[in-house]
Structures are given as C-alpha cells and as structure tokens.
Structure 1
Amino acid sequence: MTHPMQEVLDRWKAAFDNHQPDVIAQLYTPDALFQGFGPTVVVGRDAVRAYYEAVDADRRADVTVLHTYTLDDQVAGGFADITFSGADGWEAKVHLSLVLHREYDDWKIRQYHVSRVITQD
C-alpha cells in the first residue's frame, strides 16, 4: 500500500509538471497553510492557486520522498527533497515538509513548507 505522502506528491507532481494550478489547488484543504519560495505564509486554495499560476509553465519537479509518518487514520505527512528545473537550465533544490489531512476518502495537504537548499561551491 502506498503511503498518503507518496500518493499526494505523485498527483501534485503531475499537476505541477503540466502547469495545472486549479488541479494543484484542489490538492489542498480550504484553509491550508502554504509557504513557498516567497517570504509570506499564505492561507487557502485561492492563494495556492495564485502562487502556482505565477510559476513558469516550463517548470518541472523531481520529487524524492525521504520520510513519512502516520499519526492516525486522519493525519499523515513527511519530508521530501524536490529539485525544480526549467527548460532554460534554471534549477532550485528544496526540502519540503507536508502535513496531510484525510477528507472523506481523499488525502489533502493541510500544511506545505519548502526550504531552499543553498550549497557552497
């Protein structure tokens, strides 16, 4: 059985890679907390949709799930590494943490937080 974290991130990646902000927004709870690349935490699906609408359509995400947990049948989450890339050679590596909440038979993202990985050359 696939862990909810892997299942949600597989759907998120497919929507991200195909630049589908409406589909991505539906992966979140209505009151989700979202911390992307910007300095501000935003709340809700409309804010998530606006964030992803502003992302260049050629961006792709390579996702590696690192750790998962399940607190009960309603709460799960974990950590992943993501490398975002663009056709122009742009690349950004981040650590991602998610908290998931089950709504009926579907897992939704309740909290999303990325932290950019800066490497010293």
Structure 2
Amino acid sequence: MSAETETHPMHDVLSRWKAAFDTHQADVMAGLFTPDALFQGFGPEVLAGREAVRGYYAAVPEDRTAHVGRVHTYGIGELMAGGFADVTFRDPTGWAAPVHLSLVLQREGGDWRIRQYHVSQVMTGH
C-alpha cells in the first residue's frame, strides 16, 4: 500500500469501528455514523439513522468480534470517501461469517463518519 492509501480515512474509521464492535459499545458504534446514515447489516431491512444503528449493534451477541482483512479505498472529493473491506465476524463457538463491507464516508467538521454501510455475506460454491 502507498502512504496515501494508508492515510485514507477508511483505515481510521474501520479501526475505530472494530474497536467499538469488539468491545460491544453500541453507543460508540452509533457515534461513528452520520445522523441520517443508511445501514444494511445482516437483517432483511435497510435501517436509517443513528438510533437504528445503536439498536442493531446493541442486539449483537457480546462475544462476537470482527476481523478486518484486505481494504480497498477510493475518494469522492474532499468531503466524501469510500471503500470495501473483507471482514469476518466470529464468536468463540467457531461461528464465522465472512462478508464484504462497503462504506461511504462523509467528513463532518474534522471527523469522518459512516454515511452508508452495507454488508454482503460471502458465499462459496454457488
């Protein structure tokens, strides 16, 4: 990765997201999102807003962790950025769910927040 890629806001946001997810901090997780964020997790419905995101993460079992792999980034001007990450959610029982995580980020003041979040479960042998 180039130095420019390593400083892309996606890396910082993913690092903060992972830390909050792994420690089951739903309030911190919600704070990473814009107030009107769109969120598509494992559920069948698209959620909107921080409160919906908070509720989603509060319902995640406390023993789940996220393992972030390869990250791809792109820019959309000075106030927007995005990217994709290979993420595997795990728990101590051996359950694992590999996903492609897609984020659109928006700069608010001096901080980057998640404007759009989408996971797509990786299926093998289709």
Counterpart AA for 2:61:
D
Structure 2 residue 93 is the aligned partner of structure 1 residue 93 = no
TM-score normalised per structure 2: 0.92
Given the superposition, is the C-alpha separation of residues 108 and 65 from structure 1 closer, same or farther in structure 2, using an over 3 Å criterion?
farther
Shift of 1:118: 1.3
Aligned with residue 45 of structure 2, among 40, 44, 54: 40
State the SS of the aligned residue for 1:37: coil
Aligned residue number for residue 70 of structure 1: 75
> Does 1:27 find its partner at 2:32?
yes
Q: Structure 1 residue runs of 4+, over 2 Å off?
A: none
State TM-score, norm by structure 1.
0.96
Structure 1 residues 9-59: Cα deviation after superposition (integer angstroms, max 9, x where no partner): 000000000000000000000000000001100000000000000000000
SS of the aligned residue for 1:67 comes to strand
Aligned residue number for residue 86 of structure 2:
81
Identity %: 64
Which whole-Å CA distance do the structure 1 matches of 2:58 and 2:39 have between them? Answer: 15
Are the equivalent residues in 2 in contact too, given 1:34–1:111 (CA < 8 A)? yes
Q: Any stretches of 5+ residues in structure 2 without a counterpart?
A: none
* RMSD of equivalent CA atoms: 1.2
* Aligned partner (choices 113, 123, 126) of residue 118 of structure 1: 123
Supply the distance in 2 between the matched residues of 1:120 and 1:90 (Cα, whole angstroms): 19
Among 109, 112, 115, the alignment partner of 1:104 is: 109
Is 1:16 paired with 2:29? no
Count of matched residue positions in the alignment of Structure 1 and Structure 2: 121
